């Protein structure tokens, strides 16, 4: 159900259920906060116990109100909330905020109560924020349905915050960095409206340029992806801080909101697919928002130059940059020659640049800066300064740097930004006042600032949605190993020739035709892991070996695959090359999750894979290979190779498309190993596992 969030987030009139003469209760804090933010519409108080509160009339029910409000804030106990929502629905109210806890956050009884709340809201077509939350602030429209006892000083600006944690929202609401907040929304248990709904609403507001998300889970990935796509179409940036990476973190998430956090690597792939920047902590999220609100589009050249006035700090920047995957531009001869007069004769300047040189001098810095502007491989210059808010340390140096950077702005197309090396002192106001009018970001803290820059430089366009023609999957229990390979081969994958042997003599005849050495395997849909059961014989070099292997495998199949009419012994030629694992898991919420890594037994030993949401194209497949040690092996080592990397890429692309084409029919597909032969010789799958979907979509017989 798609809901109109206009009455919820931008109401012109509101009612507060649970009003009380006690000023400290949530209902009265909301009234006070509405007035503090200068909400201009009517505020109706509702409580059957009182005729008036603080000189304002109080109504016994929503039905008794003189006019229907756009939204109602429900500040009563959980057990009475459903009745209030039902009454609101009968009155024609289309939006509500539910503050109480005691729903899905409190166990089975609470989950049942939350389901009743959801059903009541859906029956009324009502957008509900919460339960178990603090409400929201819409700063531009002066709406403050917010329960915190102290209202922060709100300066309307370009940033929206959507948080599944009230405490995190309070922390960000203080906005000490002066980012400027348009919306501050706490989602709570998301009984009706989810983070995806809020995201879609705020990115459609022209006053919003950047969105910060604090997430414990995503309850509706498809809706979330649609909202992210809308943000991309409008040039809005999204930064997400997703918790629950560790087992303890996942347990904390479940205890907090009754939500499950999911598999973290899948979230990484999901965010990447949808153009969402992932931050590791709150500081990093805020600094990334500061950067993206000024520079939403990264430069064409993705290498960076960082300038400091300290050799030690330059070394620290180098270390942190390596950890963060920040690519530093290698300074060319022309750049170094232009910089040389500003440095002692014995100096060997490098990037990161220690610009202290012969001592601080603004003119020498100007010479260094202009030389760096000529470096063709760099798209950004970051000036890392020691300029605390108290105006100590090297504040004057940073002011000089700002003057040079601003004066040079019309002469180049590089992005320039400032980073305070330390955070506790805050930013220097003189530097801020200098750079703000010119749209130059000023970030706080070396690590958060460098992390923001690294993530910004890795941003890539959101790939278009690719429609993949559906492939019908027959019942898997009717398919033998070679028939399953033929099915997957329809998607453009190549498998090694595999022939079913009827008996030992037939296995010998097949081996002669294929040429020694050969591989014999006992195959059964009941036995996806053959090696552990001794069902694989490699490198068989003669007929006697084939007969012996056939007998052993046939006996093993009788023991382990009783009743499988498709169980068989197959013969394959022995193939050499780099072994990869390529696979997919079809998730009805997140889509096809594509997995690539080293294959064979190395997948368990290395424990290293790369994930994307499919389908992937050739560039994405190449990135996946580059994120694993497979890239080094494919390039060639110890006199072997190079191997056919392009064939591996084609196989990954083909498997991703096949997986998408069979969503709802197949739950999982795995080729392990895919053997990548030497350059120009292709790549072939030698083992295949297909898992049918637990509940196939209508019309599928998998």
Phi, psi (5° rounding) for residue 171? Answer: -60, -45
Pairing of strands 143-146, 135-138: antiparallel
- Does residue 203 sit within a domain? yes
Where among 226, 261, 296 does a domain terminate?
Answer: 296
Cα–Cα distance list, 636 to 565, 601, 645 (Å)? 43, 20, 10
* Residue 161 and residue 127 in one domain: no
Least confident of 186-200, 564-578, 597-611: 597-611
Domain shared by 562 and 588, yes or no? no
pLDDT at 504 over 60: yes
C-alpha span between 319 and 312 (Å, rounded): 11
Residue 146: inside a domain:
no
pLDDT at 170: 94
Report if residue 3 sits inside a domain: yes
pLDDT tens digits along 659-691? 999 999 999 999 999 999 999 999 999 999 999
Question: Are residues 528 and 567 located together in one domain of the fold?
Answer: yes
479-505 core/surface letters (b: 16 or more CB in 10 A; e: else): bbbbebbebbeebebbbbebbbbeebe
Q: Is the pLDDT of residue 700 over 50?
A: no
Residue 701 predicted with pLDDT over 60 = no
Q: Is 492 a domain residue?
A: no
Read off the pLDDT band of 605 (50, 70, 90).
Answer: very low
Domain annotation covers residue 375? yes
Q: Residue 14: CB partners within 8 Å, gap ≥ 6?
A: 34, 39, 41, 42, 43, 44, 69, 70, 71, 72, 73, 145
Residues 271 and 311 occupy one common structural domain: no
pLDDT in tens, 203-258: 999 999 999 999 999 999 999 999 999 999 999 999 999 998 765 544 443 443 33
Please say if the pLDDT value at position 347 is more than 50: yes
Mean pLDDT over each residue of the chain, to the nearest integer = 92
Indicate whether 305 and 451 sit together in one domain: yes
User: Does residue 486 sit in helix, strand or coil?
Assistant: helix
In a domain, residue 228? The reply is yes
What mean pLDDT do residues 587-602 have? 86
| pLDDT number for residue 638 | 78
Q: Residue 594: is it exposed, middle or buried by C-beta count within 10 angstroms (0-12/13-18/19+)?
A: buried
> 596: domain CATH number?
3.30.470.20
Does a structural domain hold residue 491? Answer: no
Residue 368 sits in the same domain as residue 257: no
553 and 604 in a single domain? The answer is: no
Percent of the chain exceeding pLDDT 70 equals 95
Write out pLDDT tens, residues 22-47.
989 999 999 999 999 999 999 999 99
Please state the rounded mean pLDDT for residues 460-483: 89
Counting the structural domains of the chain, the total is 5
The helix (H) or strand (E) run that includes residue 129 is: strand 127-129
Structure tokens given for 417: 């930004």
* DSSP labels, 192-243: SS-HHHHHHHHHTSTT--EEEEEES--S-HHHHHHHHHHHHHTT-EEEEEE-
Model pLDDT for residues 358-409, shown as the tens digit of each residue: 889 999 999 999 999 999 999 999 999 999 887 767 889 999 999 999 999 9
Q: What is the CATH number of the domain that holds 223?
A: 3.40.50.261
Q: Do 281 and 321 sit in the same domain of this protein?
A: no
Confidence of residue 152 (pLDDT cuts 50, 70, 90): confident
> End of a domain among 457, 484, 509?
457
In this prediction, residue 388 carries a pLDDT of 87
Q: Same structural domain for residues 274 and 159? A: yes
Same domain, 181 and 252: yes
pLDDT band with cut points at 50, 70 and 90 for residue 465:
confident
78 within some domain: yes
Q: Are residues 303 and 427 in the same domain?
A: yes
- Domain boundary at 279, 296, 313, which? 296
- 560: CATH: 3.30.1490.20
Please report the pLDDT score of residue 394 as a whole number.
Answer: 84
Identify the residue whose tokens are 């430069």: 299
Residue 203's domain spans which residues? 152-296
Between strands 159-163 and 210-215, the pairing is parallel
Count Cα neighbours of 653 within 13 Å in the Cβ-side half-sphere: 15
Binned at pLDDT 50, 70 and 90, residue 261 comes out as very low
Mean pLDDT of 639-654: 94
Residues 307 and 292 in one domain: no
- DSSP per position, 343-383: S-TT----SSEETTTTS--HHHHHHHHHHHHT-TTEEEEEE
């Amino acid at each position: 159900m798609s809901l109109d969030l206009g009455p919820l987030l931008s109401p012109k009139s509101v009612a507060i259920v649970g009003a009380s003469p006690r000023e400290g209760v949530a209902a009265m804090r909301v009234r006070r906060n509405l007035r503090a933010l200068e909400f201009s519409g009517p505020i109706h108080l509702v409580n059957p116990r009182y005729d008036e509160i603080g000189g304002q009339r109080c109504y016994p029910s929503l039905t008794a109100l003189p006019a229907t409000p756009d939204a109602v804030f429900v500040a009563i106990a959980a057990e009475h909330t459903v009745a209030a929502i039902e009454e609101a629905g009968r009155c024609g109210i289309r939006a509500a905020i539910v503050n109480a806890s005691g729903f899905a956050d409190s166990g089975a009884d609470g989950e049942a109560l939350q389901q009743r709340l959801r059903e009541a809201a859906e029956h009324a077509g009502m957008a509900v924020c919460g339960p178990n939350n603090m409400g929201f602030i819409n700063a531009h429209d002066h709406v403050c349905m917010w329960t915190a006892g102290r209202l922060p000083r709100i300066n309307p600006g370009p940033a929206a915050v959507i948080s599944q944690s009230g405490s995190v929202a309070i922390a960000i609401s203080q906005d000490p960095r002066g980012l400027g907040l348009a919306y501050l929304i706490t989602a709570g248990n998301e009984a009706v409206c989810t983070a995806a709904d809020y995201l879609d609403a705020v990115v459609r507001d022209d006053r919003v340029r950047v969105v910060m998300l604090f997430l414990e889970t995503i309850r509706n990935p498809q809706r979330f992806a649609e909202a992210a796509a809308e943000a991309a179409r409008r040039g809005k940036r999204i930064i997400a801080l997703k918790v629950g990476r560790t087992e303890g973190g996942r347990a904390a998430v479940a205890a907090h909101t009754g939500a499950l956090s999911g598999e973290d690597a899948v979230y990484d792939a999901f965010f990447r697919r949808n153009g969402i920047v992932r931050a590791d902590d709150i500081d990093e999220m805020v600094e990334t928002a500061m950067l993206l609100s000024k520079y939403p589009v990264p430069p064409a050249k993705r290498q960076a130059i960082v300038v400091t006035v300290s050799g030690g700090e330059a070394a620290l920047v180098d270390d942190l940059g390596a950890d963060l995957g920040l690519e530093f531009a290698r300074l060319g001869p022309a750049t170094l020659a232009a910089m040389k007069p500003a440095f002692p004769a014995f100096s060997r300047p490098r990037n990161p640049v220690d610009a202290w040189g012969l001592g601080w001098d603004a003119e020498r810095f100007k010479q260094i800066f202009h030389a760096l502007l000529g470096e063709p491989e760099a798209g950004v210059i970051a000036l890392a300064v020691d300029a605390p808010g108290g105006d100590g340390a090297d504040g004057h140096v940073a002011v000089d740097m700002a003057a040079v950077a601003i004066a040079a702005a019309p002469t180049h197309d590089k992005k320039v930004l400032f980073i305070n090396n330390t955070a506790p002192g805050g930013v220097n106001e003189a530097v801020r006042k200098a750079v703000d009018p010119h749209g130059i970001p000023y970030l706080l803290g070396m690590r958060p600032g460098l992390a923001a820059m690294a993530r910004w430089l890795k941003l890539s366009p959101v790939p278009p949605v690719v429609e993949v023609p559906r492939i019908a999957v027959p019942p898997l229990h009717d398919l033998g190993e070679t028939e399953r390979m033929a099915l997957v081969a329809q998607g453009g994958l190549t498998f090694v020739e595999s022939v079913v042997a009827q008996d030992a003599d037939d296995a010998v005849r097949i081996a002669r035709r294929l040429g020694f050495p050969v591989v014999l395997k006992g195959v059964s849909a009941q036995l996806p892991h053959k090696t552990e059961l001794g069902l694989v014989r490699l490198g068989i070099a003669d007929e006697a070996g084939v007969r012996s292997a056939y007998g052993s495998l046939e006996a093993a199949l009788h023991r382990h695959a009783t009743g499988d009419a498709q169980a068989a012994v197959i013969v394959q030629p022995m193939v050499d090359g780099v072994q990869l694992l390529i696979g997919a898991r079809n998730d009805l919420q997140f889509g096809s999750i594509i997995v690539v890594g080293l294959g064979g037994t190395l997948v368990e030993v290395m424990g290293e894979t790369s994930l994307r949401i499919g389908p992937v194209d050739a560039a994405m497949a190449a990135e996946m290979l580059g994120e694993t040690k497979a890239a080094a092996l494919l390039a060639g080592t110890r006199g072997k190779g190079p191997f056919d990397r392009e064939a591996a890429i084609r196989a990954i692309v083909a498997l991703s498309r096949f997986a998408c084409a069979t969503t709802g029919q197949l739950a999982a597909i795995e080729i392990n190993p895919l053997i990548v032969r030497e350059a120009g010789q292709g790549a072939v799958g030698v083992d295949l596992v297909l898992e049918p979907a637990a509940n196939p979509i209508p019309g599928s017989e998998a």
